Amino acid sequence: MKTEQPHYDFDYVVIGSGFGGSVSALRLAEKGYRVLVLEKGQWKTPKDFAKNIWDLKRWMWLPAMRFFGIFKLTYFRHVAVLSGVGVGGGSLVYANTLPVPKKKFYTAKSWAHLADWEKELADFYPLALRMLGATPNPVLQTGDLALKKLGENLGLADKFQPTNVAVYFGKANETVEDPYFDGKGPERTGCNFCGGCMVGCRYNAKNTLDKNYLHLAQQLGVKIQAESEVVNVVPLDEGEGESGYRIDWQQSTRLFKKKGSVTSRGVIFSGGVLGTVKLLLKLKDKSLPFLSDRVGANIRTNSESLISITTLKRDKVLSKGVAIGSILHTDEDSHLEPVRYNAGSGFWRLMGLPMVRGRTTIKRVGSMFYDFARHPVKNIKVYFTDDWAKRTQIMLFMQTIDSTLRFTKGIFGMKSKMEDGDPPTSFIPEAFELADKYSEIIEGKPYVLATEAAMGIPTTAHILGGAVMGKNRGEGVIDSQNRVFGYRNMYVCDGSMISANPGVNPSLTITAISERAMSKIPEKNPKAVATFNSEEAPVL
């Protein structure tokens, strides 16, 4: 007797539309699967983005205050996390920068025993670069030239280079037919170097995911449902998901939330660390009890330090350019990048305090009062400068040094605790020394976020891990092909899968590993559709 196959609303439901979710949606659709993407944030068009970050309602994601922007700031005991929300996920707010990690990433002991990762990802990094439209930044601006000068002063002139960025340069402000996918993509407009990449590109130049992976996925029938937060994933057979899943969601932007459910054969978790890990911790105690006990473990940052340096010279303009236009490799484990916001984006000045050193709060507060007393004019000039973003360069220092946190369920979502190694710190001596030297070049004054200076809590835009790879469920949450231990047709493809410290901006790596994971899934119908591959996405 023939067994009747169950009917599903979709073959796969993708939870989140960031780098991993967008890759998953397109590649599954190419293989003939019916795909639904559920995204907590809103659809945004260029006219929806804030002109600068003072427009908090358009820029920040704070639903309790009815702010439905693209930028989210989340505080934990050990780290503050910057992340993105909306259709396109982190691509809406990230700094466009797409570096390939160094060898140490592939050979890290946390995952090197699972595969030869340099070999495994060799084909997928170039593919990801082409799909995201990466190209070298063609114009070095004032802040980039200052970094180049710093490199020369340090004897590291050969370690300075323009960044590879996901931006369409073309001719400034000129709109052209799709330059990437043989006419299958949307129109693009040449970058005008306004510096507003992280506020939301209002000029159609930034290669956000809604302009490549998601755009192409929609052409293949993928449905993208915004403002829909997943609250439960339930196996239809109450077992390991052999019969598929029910995915429950609720509207994320309404006071009286509309709710709904869909069924699918498989599920891809792609909500980023803050979305995926939080949801998996909840589901492990509820509907997915076979999840590994390692959910929430091995949380990493890129060992970052963020230091803003405000020039005291009114003739220097530091806001022009792409968000990150250059990079200086200061040693084998570290590098420095100048980060910028567009003119008028001075909100961060309200959260800044002088850069001070010290392991205890009392010592740091004392050092701050001393700094105010010693440099009263400089500090007044920083706080009352005519345009903070125009006069400020944020220095992003990153290292491949490894230490890990663990996220667990808390009263208000998740909480952090130390797991292995030294706690994340914003007080990195090398970063402070480089900031002092950069300050001399642009005649500026270094500041850090108040949470770092007063409380010692570092800030990261690159939170990773929490659903890492392992050889079994005792070691990780997913296997080396991104399949969730304990369940069928369930995957994790986002920053929470990253199992070692890349030491560089991780978006490209998330894209490449997700491409590899989707390449392992067999086609539903080999003749269903053509694919958008590396040959159809040339580097410009």
- Closest to 276 (Cα-Cα) out of 463, 140, 101: 463
Helix (H) or strand (E) holding 539, with range, is none
Question: Which of 78, 329, 335, 462 is the catalytic position?
Answer: 462
Environment class of 255 (CB within 10 Å of its CB; exposed 0-12, middle 13-18, buried 19+): exposed
Helix axes 376-383, 361-374, angle to 10 degrees: 100
Q: Do the strands 334-339 and 259-269 form a parallel or antiparallel pair, or are they unpaired?
A: unpaired
The single residue listed with the structure tokens 């009917």 is 7
Residues near 129 by beta carbon (within 8 Å), at least 6 away in sequence:
98, 164, 508, 539
Q: What's the distance, CA 377 to chain centroid?
A: 37
Q: d(Cα 371, Cα 149) in Å, to the nearest integer? A: 27
Residues near 58 by beta carbon (within 8 Å), at least 6 away in sequence:
48, 49, 50, 69, 200
Q: Please confirm, yes or no, whether 462 is among the known catalytic residues.
A: yes
Q: d(Cα 301, Cα 425) in Å, to the nearest integer? A: 10
CB 109 within 8 A of CB 468: no
Q: Which two tokens stand for residue 53?
A: 């970050």
Q: d(Cα 502, Cα 517) in Å, to the nearest integer? A: 18
- Closest to 90 (Cα-Cα) out of 460, 540, 521: 460
Q: d(Cα 48, Cα 63) in Å, to the nearest integer? A: 17
- Residues known to be catalytic: 462
